[in-house]
Amino acid sequence: MRQVGMLMILLTITLYSFLPGLAEAQEERLIRVGFDKSLPPLSYLDKYGEPAGFDIDLIRKMATLHGYQIQFVPLEWEDTVIQLKAGQLDLVVGMKYTSTRDTFFDFSDSYLTMADALVVPLATRDISGINDLRGKVVAVQRDDAGISQLESIRGGKLLVAFNQPDAMEMLFVGRADVFLGNRWTAEYVLQKAGNQQDYRIRTGLIPPSDYAFAVREGNYELLNKLNEGLAELHQNGTYESLYSQYLEPYNALAIEWWRKLVYGLLIVMGLVVFVLAASFLWNKRLQREVKLQTAALADSFAFQTKVLDSVDNGILSFDQAGRITLINRAARKLLGLNKQPAEIYVLDCLPQLPVQQVLGSGNRHYLEGELHLGDGTGRIVYYYTASLVNSVGEQVGGILCLQDRTEQKHLQARLIAQEKMRALGELVAGIAHEIRNPLTAIKTFTELLPKKLDDSRFRAELLEHVPEEVARMNRIIEDLLDYSREKPVQKKWVKLFDLVQSVLGLFTKRIENEGIRTAIDISPELEVLVDRDRIKQVLINLILNAIEAMAHSQDKRLTISTLQDERMVYLAISDSGSGIETDEMQQMFQPFYTTKSQGIGLGLYICEKIMNDHGGGIEVKSDVGIGTTFLLRFSKGGDC
């Protein structure tokens, strides 16, 4: 007994010695990630208060690769730097690399390279460079790395905000003359505020900086994992997918930058010609100076050519006749041109490109789209073409930007095919489940028929339940046909008020019996271009669902109202029922999903399909215990 007791004591001591190590190992798998909560589209809080953005999804993917758990800490940017220094954070995303910060933190490999942009009102014409900020009020984010460059400008005044959207708001209300900050965030805020036409964004005035993940000084293990994760995400295409999702919608400014670069190249070429022509008239005493200037200009042009050749997208310019005047390496490779073209026309390489529309439409006109290269490879290319104007505003040609999107399109096609197969599997499973129940009931009555044919009670139940189950199977088949059948949409202008009244008339008796109060706020003259019968089917389904949802409510209210904007008409159907759980809302438009004991699960799916066929849509908002609102969107033009 004494030996057993000693053995138990030793086992206890051993377990306690291992438990702290295990707890510490688990704790090490959790990393605290700080981020700027107001820097869209890189990092921000979405409408649900959840972390979102390019930086956030990038660190999530990397954490998944290495099995880390993430605790996101949304902060103002200044606080992220302070807490990382204090050891309260393990990692900060989207930190701009500077030599000063490198003394406090360790940085991962760069995953973005970008220069800050200046945002100025369109009416302001006296700001063309960083030195023009003298005497100007510049709105900037607190603790931004660009502040050090602004402090060296004599006579400039800084107006500091906690985040970049607030700094841009100072520009909007007139408290600042210019905003300095992230180009993508500036474009995002301008689009959200609808102010793009009132402001212009200047890039290329400030040297670009590297953005990376910053960790505490000496945390080399986490730093190595971050670099390995970045390399793997680049290799498997995840990085490019995230970049396309978050940042490509705001790359229109990059095209503007290239356009200005081409303007600069044309001006440089003009200066070279001018100097060469003037050299014939000048005396020999200036020949040496002319040669020096010509050499300097040649070096500048070579540098610009190297910059163009380092870009992955194809870029070329052409004159009024459609003849190619400038082309980079990526464009030559994409079009199969082995060397710099001479007397080659754009239409010779891309006959389907609408070049003549750009050349014949005046200044500052652009076109974009996709086309298939006619070289037998099946490659798909996105193009952006715009007119080029000279210094006096005359059109002198155009610029063309090309991007190979073949792999992206193939990936999209594979994803669509996978989604179709998944939906097909759910469809087959739903049909089997829904038809099996009535077949089981019919089979049971059929097996008992020889034994209980003389039983009057059995015959009564047979006559009651078998037709009911047959009718249920017929409803399933009818809804399934509505689900799969492609009916042509026959649109006519219909007064929305009359359509809603006609549907409510079908439920008048039930509404009165159940004590439901109805309110309709629709203009009698409001018309929509729809297929009356199919939209009536949608309204019947939604109103019936609303009545059933209020079965156990004390205060029963059914409200139907409309809203409008420039493009759409919105019809809202609201009830004061029990509401819908979040989990149910995520699946309610899936085929064969239902919470009703006698439901089939195709009603809401068919409603959504009908609205999509009309070029509109359907949305739902619900609060448990308060009620639900279905919002139908109708296009004013009726376009699908």
> In this predicted model, what pLDDT tens digit does every residue of 10-35 receive, in sequence order?
544 444 444 444 344 444 579 999 99
* pLDDT tens sequence across 595-623: 665 555 667 777 888 888 888 888 889 88
CB 631 within 8 A of CB 577: no
DSSP per-residue codes, 269-281 = HHHHHHHHHHHTT
Residue with tokens 């008020």: 497
Stretch (H or E) spanning 446 = helix 406-448
β-strand pairing of 209-216 with 105-107? antiparallel
* Residue scoring higher pLDDT (549 or 482): 549
Average model confidence (pLDDT) across the chain: 80
Give the pLDDT score at 74: 95
Give the pLDDT score at 72: 95
Give the pLDDT score at 440: 73
Sorted by sequence, the CB contacts under 8 Å of residue 227 that are 6+ apart come out as 108, 109
**Residue 116, pLDDT above cutoff 50:** yes
Give the pLDDT score at 365: 66
Give the pLDDT score at 561: 93
**Average pLDDT of 49-67?**
92
* Residue scoring higher pLDDT (2 or 219): 219
pTM, two decimals, is: 0.39
Q: What are phi and psi of 97, to 5 degrees?
A: -75, 130
CB 45 within 8 A of CB 36: no
Give the pLDDT score at 425: 59
Closest CA to 560 of 481, 500, 487: 500
Residues of the chain with pLDDT > 90, as a percent, come to 21
- CB crowding 515-550: b at 16 or more within 10 Å, else e: ebeeeeebeeeebbbbbbebbbbbbbbbbebbbebb
Give the pLDDT score at 305: 75
CB 255 within 8 A of CB 311: no
Q: Which domains does the chain have, with CATH numbers?
A: 2-112+212-250 (3.40.190.10), 116-207 (3.40.190.10), 252-404 (3.30.450.20), 425-484 (1.10.287), 492-635 (3.30.565.10)
Give the pLDDT score at 609: 82
**Average pLDDT of 117-142?**
84
Give the pLDDT score at 32: 95
Report the distance separating Cα 497 and Cα 527, nearest Å.
8
**Residue 462, pLDDT above cutoff 50:** yes
Sorted by sequence, the CB contacts under 8 Å of residue 613 that are 6+ apart come out as 489, 534, 640
Closest CA to 395 of 371, 365, 432: 365
* pLDDT tens sequence across 277-322: 776 777 777 777 767 777 777 777 777 777 777 787 888 888 888 8
**Residue 95, pLDDT above cutoff 50:** yes
Q: Which two tokens stand for residue 615?
A: 């070029």
CB 504 within 8 A of CB 518: yes
Q: What are phi and psi of 312, to 5 degrees?
A: -70, -30
Report the distance separating Cα 172 and Cα 155, nearest Å.
22
Report the distance separating Cα 132 and Cα 257, nearest Å.
19
Sorted by sequence, the CB contacts under 8 Å of residue 608 that are 6+ apart come out as 589, 617, 618
Lowest-confidence range among 159-173, 333-347, 513-527? 333-347
Report the distance separating Cα 365 and Cα 8, nearest Å.
85
205 class by beta-carbon count within 10 Å (0-12 exposed, 13-18 middle, 19+ buried): middle
* pLDDT tens sequence across 162-196: 899 999 999 999 899 899 888 889 989 998 888 88
Which is it for the CA torsion 106, 112, 115, 117, positive or negative? negative
- CB crowding 71-99: b at 16 or more within 10 Å, else e: ebbbbbbbbbbebbeeeebbbbbbbbbee
DSSP per-residue codes, 308-345 = HHT-SSEEEEEETT-BEEEE-HHHHHHHT--S--SS-B
